[in-house]
Structure 1
Amino acid sequence: MSDYEVRPAVMRDAKAIAEVHAAAARATYDGILPEDQLRALAPATREAKWREAIEFSEPQVQVAVCGEQVVGFVGYDRSRDAKTPSTTGEIWAIYVLPEHWGKGVGVALWDAARDGLEEEGCTTVTVWVPLRNDRAIRFHELAGFKRQMTTAKTTSVGAVKIEEVRLKRNVA
């Protein structure tokens, strides 16, 4: 794990975060989304969103770097779900370049998010994951998250409907 450092994102990271987001999303949704929609998952469609997130800390963003290269990121903050206590945090997004999967980057990002949420006074944390994203569900379950099956919902990614489930765990 010593090859990776996790630090708060700065404005110059926005483009790299968008590139990680696009590459990881394409790999994640391969076989789930049609080819034309996979091609539409382009960095240019995400860079402005991540610039705004970094500028306003909503969500708070941390990046994992290997040397000078951003290889992953996590966005976290208070839960966006209605009727959740103010002590509930949420992992809004966590993505790692596919060539760095399985090397501890996700764990380092999760640790940084957990520390940040704890500093914000959060006692529980949730994350929404597509039911067909076995890798992400396995990652979060290994990190101590439990599925809340009654929370399953359908969201749209382009023209495709995707079933998501919320997972939850204590911050500490």
Structure 2
Amino acid sequence: MEHMEIRNAEKGDEEILAWVQTESWKAAFFGILPENELEKATCFVKVKEMYRKILGEGIVKIKIGFIEEIPHCIAGWRQNYNQKGAQTAELICIHSMQTHWGQGFGSQMIKEILQNMKEEGYAEVMLWVFGENSRARRFYEKHGFHQNQASKVIHGITEMMYSRTL
């Protein structure tokens, strides 16, 4: 397996982040999200602006993974404010390009960010995942996450909460 270089995202990385997110969403959520919702959610200009704002605020920590200097994977996390309390981090996203799915790069990324969370003193991490996204659910379960009872509806699709201790 190739090695993925992982670094912190910084101001100026908005295009990289938007490209990885929109392209990975198109592949991962095709057939899960209604077509019109997927089209809105993958508008490059809007996603780029969202990342510009996020990077400017500095609340969400974002990592970018590169394979041979080409962006492949992104992950974002922050302290959880709603469901679980201050000792819990929230994995907001982990997206990777379809060209390298199943090759271990997502595992490299999640191990890195789980270690970062632990080093920052978090005891637990939670996330939301579309119930119909069985590939992502298997990935999280492989990395020690367990489904909780909590759920919510977004884009007309049920999301389920997963969590694990660090």
- Match status 1:44 vs 2:45: yes
Superposed counterparts of 1:60-139, under 5 Å: 60-82=61-83, 84-139=84-139
Confirm or deny: 8 A CA contact 1:13 1:70 kept in the other structure. no
Please, which runs of 5 or more residues in structure 2 have no aligned partner? none
Preserved contact between residue 131 and residue 158 of structure 2 (Cα < 8 Å): yes
Rounded to whole Å, the distance in 1 between the matches of 2:141 and 2:25 is: 20
Structure 2 CA distance for aligned equivalents of residues 170 and 86 of structure 1 = 14
Greater CA deviation, 162-171 or 29-38?
29-38
Give the Cα separation in 2 of the matches to 1:12 and 1:67.
20
**Letter of the structure 1 residue corresponding to residue 160 of structure 2:** V
Counterpart-to-counterpart distance in 1, 2:131 and 2:85: 25
TM-score (normalizing by structure 1)? 0.89
Per-residue deviation, residues 21-54 of structure 1 (Å, max 9, x unmatched): 1111111221123334333312212011112222
- In 2, the alpha carbon distance for the partners of 1:58 and 1:52 equals 10
Alignment match, 2:15: 15
**Counterpart code for 2:141:** E
Checking the alignment, whether the CA contact within 8 Å between 1:53 and 1:61 is kept in structure 2 is: no
Distance 1:90 1:35 in 2: 27
1:164 aligns with 2:165: no
The number of aligned residues is 165
- Answer yes or no: is the 8 Å Cα contact 1:53–1:60 preserved in 2: no
| 1:49-92 Cα shifts (integer Å, max 9, x gaps) | 1122223322100010012211110001111324x221101101
Give the aligned partner of residue 6 of structure 1: 6
Contact 1:19 1:42 in 2 (8 A): no
User: TM-score if structure 2 supplies the norm length?
Assistant: 0.92
Question: Distance between the aligned counterparts of 1:135 and 1:80, measured in 2?
Answer: 27
Taking the aligned partners of 2:29 and 2:162, their CA distance within structure 1 comes to 19
Task: Tell me if structure 2 keeps the 8 A contact 1:74–1:95.
Answer: yes
The Cα of 1:10 is off from its aligned counterpart by 2.1
Partner SS state of residue 12, structure 2 = helix
Q: Report the Cα distance in structure 2 between the residues aligned to 1:125 and 1:37, rounded to whole angstroms.
A: 28
Unmatched tracts of structure 1, length 5 or more: none
Per-residue CA distance 1:100-141 (angstroms, 9 max, x = gap):
111111111111211221122101000100000011100000
Residues 89, 117 of structure 1: 8 Å contact kept: yes
